[in-house]
Structures are given as C-alpha cells and as structure tokens.
Structure 1
Amino acid sequence: MIRLAVRVRREHAELVLAELLELAPSGVEEAELEGGVVEYAVYGPPGEVPDLPDLQVAAGDALVEVETTEVADDWADRWRQFHKPVVVGGRLHVRPPWCTPREDLLEVVVDPGQAFGTGAHGTTRLCLELLCELAAEGAGGPASDLGCGSGVLAIAAAKLGLGPVLGVDHERESVTATAENAQANGVDDLVRAERFDLLRGGPAPGAPLVLANLLRPLLLAVARAGFQDAQPRVLVASGLLVHEADEVAGAFAQRHGLHERRRLDDGEWAALLLARPAG
C-alpha cells in the first residue's frame, strides 16, 4: 500500500484540499505540521493513487513538498485507530461508525472515509461547542452550513434542534457524504445538501443561523459576497488561526452588522459567534 503525502502552506490549505478531492474523491487524511504547513495524505495500491504531476498542479504555488512512502498491509486498521470519539459540550458524542455509542448523549456518527470533517479537528470541535451553547439558549433554525464537508455540523445542528439545515459544498463527494451521513443519523428529513461554489457563486445561501467552518480566504470571500434569501441573525465562523479572528470578525461586522458575541480558541484555532444586535 502506498501513502502519498502533499504538504502545503496553511493559508492555501482549503483551496488545495478542494483540488485534491477531485483526484482522490474517497477522502484524504489531514495533519497539522510545524511551520504553518498542512499535510494531506491519500492511500491506495500502486497505480491507483493520484499521479505526481497531477498533485503538483493541484497544489500549485502552495506546494511545499510531495512524499511517497510504503505502508504496512494493516494500514486500514491503524487508520481506524486514528479516529477517536469526541464528546462536545456534554451533549454530543461524535464518533466513527465502528466506535461504541453513548446512551447518555446525542449521537453524531460520521464516516471519516467519505469527506473532510469528522469532529476531531479543533475548528470543528469549537463550532460544535458554540452550537451546543446556542441550543442551550433556545436558539432555532433554519440554518445553512457553508462548506459542509461530511455534514457533521449540519447533522449536529439538526439533532440539537437548530434545523432544518441546508449544507452546501463545492465538492460533489461532500454533498453525497452529507446526504448519506444525514440518512445514517436519522435526520435526512432535516438536512439536505447542494453544490455551491463559495468563491465564484456569488452571495452564499443565507439563513437565520449560518455555520461557516472555512479557512480565512473563504470566510472573507463570503463576507464580501454576502447572502442570498435570508440575512443571518447569528453566524458561527471557524477555520481560523487565533491571529486571524479579529480580521474576520471585523469584516462581518462592517459589511453585515454581525458583531462578535463570543470567541473560543484552543491555543491555535479560533471560532467566533457573531450576532446581529437585538431590536
């Protein structure tokens, strides 16, 4: 089995990921490295992993390096061991399908092999924490999930009573994964998914509650383009390094009147709860 790793600069990571998923639709493994570098890895038998020239083109100017290594035949089992359940806000238990459920928590079951986003990444956990807080305050939907990936945020929002939710993503695989995961979690009546290009599609699908777990360039693009259908009363923004949060909060405050009400961080990543003033 071959492991093919592509390392890119963090500020370009989301755009590169979108291109890589075109070459490896079954999903990629993500890891944070030192020096502001993100590593994406794909696995497969020789001849089935993406070609090196295609990867170099996909990564473009963001490319740091590409590395190919052989892995042991038990890689699938070890890959499963990498994905652990996550408990968030004392209410949600986010887990892959092979982990034991918790009867005392709301279950969000996500297959990490389908698309980006399993709940384990810091940005996703921070978003889920803010969702739990909103639910505890009695907030409601409808909601939109911009860059829905595997659908973990949309599914969690629906289970917390913050639906219905429209998830949008540029990648067909993410749209499919969100729909399949919503069905597996029993919320397919509350979660639907559509393709939408946040960079080139104009105003993003709006709703009273907007979830945007995106990297800084896409968040700023959404702030510039605005929203269609409905203007958000509350926006949860993540995918931000701690030092990027002020800029993004300022962009949504200036353009959309959404002001920072709450900020969470884990020392590296930050999430913002932005809200329109009451009255």
Structure 2
Amino acid sequence: MIRLAIRVRREDAEVVLAELLPLAPSGVEESELDQGNVIEYAVYGAPGELPELPDVEAAVGGALVEVVTTEVADDWADRWRAFHRPIEVAGRLYVRPPWEPERTDMMDLVIDPGQAFGTGAHHTTRLCLEILAEEPLPSDPQARGVMDLGCGSGVLAIAAGKLGWSPLAGVDHELESVRATAENAAANGVEVHAERFDLIRGGAAPSAPLVLANLLRPLLLCVARAGFRDNNVPDLLIASGLLATEADEIAAAFARHGLVETDRRQSAEWSALALRRPV
C-alpha cells in the first residue's frame, strides 16, 4: 500500500481540496503540519491506483509545498481505526465511528470516517458541536431549519437533527461529501437534504435560521462577500475552521450582514464563533 501526501499552504487549502478530490473520489485524509501553516492531504492505494503526479501538481498549482510518497505497513488499516476515536460533546452528544459501541446515556451519532472527512474529533468540528449542543431549541418550529455549508461527512447537520432541529440541509462542492452526508444521515435516522454547491463560484450561499459553517478562512470570507440567498440572513451562524488570530476578521466580515458576535470558543489554536442577528 502506498501513501501519497500533498502538502499545501493553509490559506489555499480549501481551494486545493476542491481541485484535488476529483482525482481521489474515495476521499482524502487531512492533517496539519508546521503548527497549522501547512495542510497535508493524503490518499492511499496500490501502485498504479493513485493519481498521476502531473495531475496532482496541476490541481495543486502554486499552493504546492511538497509531495511525499511513502510505503505503508500492512497494519495500516488497524492504525487508521485507532486514530478515529469517539468524542463526548457538552455532556449531550456522543460521536463515534461505526466500530465503537453505542452509548445509551447520550445522543448517539455514528459517523463513518471512511466516507468523508472524519468523525468530528478535529478542534474546529468539536467547537461547532459544543456551541450547537448548548443552543436552546427555538420555540417556533419555523425557526428550526438548518443549513450546513461545506457539510463533509454531515456530522454537524446530523447532530442538529438529533438535537431537534428540522428541516436539515447541507451543501458541499464534492459529490462524495453529498453522498456521505446522505448515507450518514440515514444511518442516524435523520434526513438531510444535501446537494452540490460551489461556495467560491456559486454566488450567494443558501441559508436557514441556523447556518453551520465549519470552513477555512478563505471560504468563510467568500460567504461573507457573497451574502445569503434572497438576503435570508440566518438568526444564528456558527462559524469555525479558523485560527484564533483570524476570528476578529471573520466576525467583522459577517457584521456587515448585521450578525453580532455573542460567543467565541477556542481550542488549541482554533476558534469558533456564534454570530447572531439581533432580535
């Protein structure tokens, strides 16, 4: 088994991922290097099954830092499973991969990390889940709709559904993420309407009373610039995927839409924001 790792500058990571995924339709592994300044995307396969290097370099373009090819030991599958561990969130949610046993004392979410981008253990996802889990459910059913921008594996939208929010929707640039969200939602007994949408080139973002946006800084700024479809500014936007040093910039970008910061969480070097429309 061969591991092909492509390392890119963090500020270009989201755009690079959108170009890279068509070359690796089964998904990529994502990790951070150099204190978060470099993002590594890795794909696995037998010799001859991996994307051609010229195609990879063309997709990554000027953001390329390094390409590293290594041979993976025979026990890589077991070590990959060991990497994905369950997490507890705010004493309410238990997010686990399918090979871990269910917990009956919390709301149980099972997310298959083999389909998309992990189970929710990354700091940015956990911060989103913490804010979401502590948010009171609106008394008005019409105010409970959810839009997950960049839904990935669907974990945020699915968690919202478990917490009583509905209807649930999500968008992602990659078809594999759309499929993963639908499959994970079905496995959890909720329904998420997921579809493809390009946050960079698609114009105004789809919206709902609650918008979940676990995106890197460049994509969050794209959403802030383009605004929301039909000027449908959410009641609450939970934004993450940003470094603590970027939080003020993101809060200011969405303030132009009348959204006011009411909560800021930090874990390691990462931050998440709760941005609300004043009542």
- Counterpart CA distance in 2 for 1:163 and 1:24 is 33
Q: Per-residue deviation at 1:163?
A: 2.1
The C-alpha deviation readout for 1:124-178, integer Å capped at 9, x for no partner, is 0000001011147868510100000110001000001122111001111111110
TM-score (norm 2): 0.95
- Counterpart CA distance in 2 for 1:135 and 1:21 is 36
Q: Per-residue deviation at 1:8?
A: 0.8
The C-alpha deviation readout for 1:228-278, integer Å capped at 9, x for no partner, is 143201100001011001001001112x10010000011311000000112
* Secondary structure of the corresponding residue to residue 135 of structure 2: helix
Superposition pairs for residues 125-204 of structure 1, below 5 Å? 125-135=126-136, 141-188=144-191, 191-204=192-205
Partner of 2:241: 239
Q: Which runs of 4+ in 1 moved over 3 A?
A: 135-140
- The one-letter code of the counterpart of 1:205 is P
Indicate whether 1:39 and 2:40 are aligned.
yes
- Counterpart CA distance in 1 for 2:77 and 2:200 is 35
Q: 2:253 aligns with which of 236, 251, 262?
A: 251
Q: Unaligned regions of 5+ residues in structure 1, if any?
A: none
CA contact (8 A) 2:137 2:165 kept: no
- Counterpart CA distance in 1 for 2:278 and 2:149 is 22
Partner of 1:16: 16
The C-alpha deviation readout for 1:11-46, integer Å capped at 9, x for no partner, is 111111222211111111111111511111111111
- The one-letter code of the counterpart of 1:192 is H
| Worse-matched range after superposition: 130-139 or 211-220 | 130-139
Q: Unaligned regions of 5+ residues in structure 2, if any?
A: none
CA contact (8 A) 1:5 1:40 kept: yes
- Counterpart CA distance in 1 for 2:100 and 2:180 is 19
Q: Per-residue deviation at 1:57?
A: 1.2
- Counterpart CA distance in 2 for 1:17 and 1:99 is 29
Partner of 2:228: 227
Computed over aligned residues only, the root mean square deviation of the Cα atoms, in angstroms, reads: 1.4
- Counterpart CA distance in 2 for 1:199 and 1:73 is 40
The C-alpha deviation readout for 1:33-74, integer Å capped at 9, x for no partner, is 115111111111111111111111111111110000101122
* Aligned pairs, number: 275
- The one-letter code of the counterpart of 2:124 is T
The C-alpha deviation readout for 1:88-128, integer Å capped at 9, x for no partner, is 11111111111111110111111111112420111100000
- Counterpart CA distance in 2 for 1:20 and 1:83 is 23
Partner of 1:3: 3
- Counterpart CA distance in 2 for 1:21 and 1:76 is 21
Partner of 2:30: 30
CA contact (8 A) 2:211 2:237 kept: yes
- Counterpart CA distance in 1 for 2:268 and 2:138 is 26
CA contact (8 A) 2:236 2:274 kept: yes
- The one-letter code of the counterpart of 1:123 is T
* Secondary structure of the corresponding residue to residue 205 of structure 1: coil
Q: Per-residue deviation at 1:192?
A: 1.1
CA contact (8 A) 1:135 1:161 kept: no
Indicate whether 1:123 and 2:124 are aligned.
yes
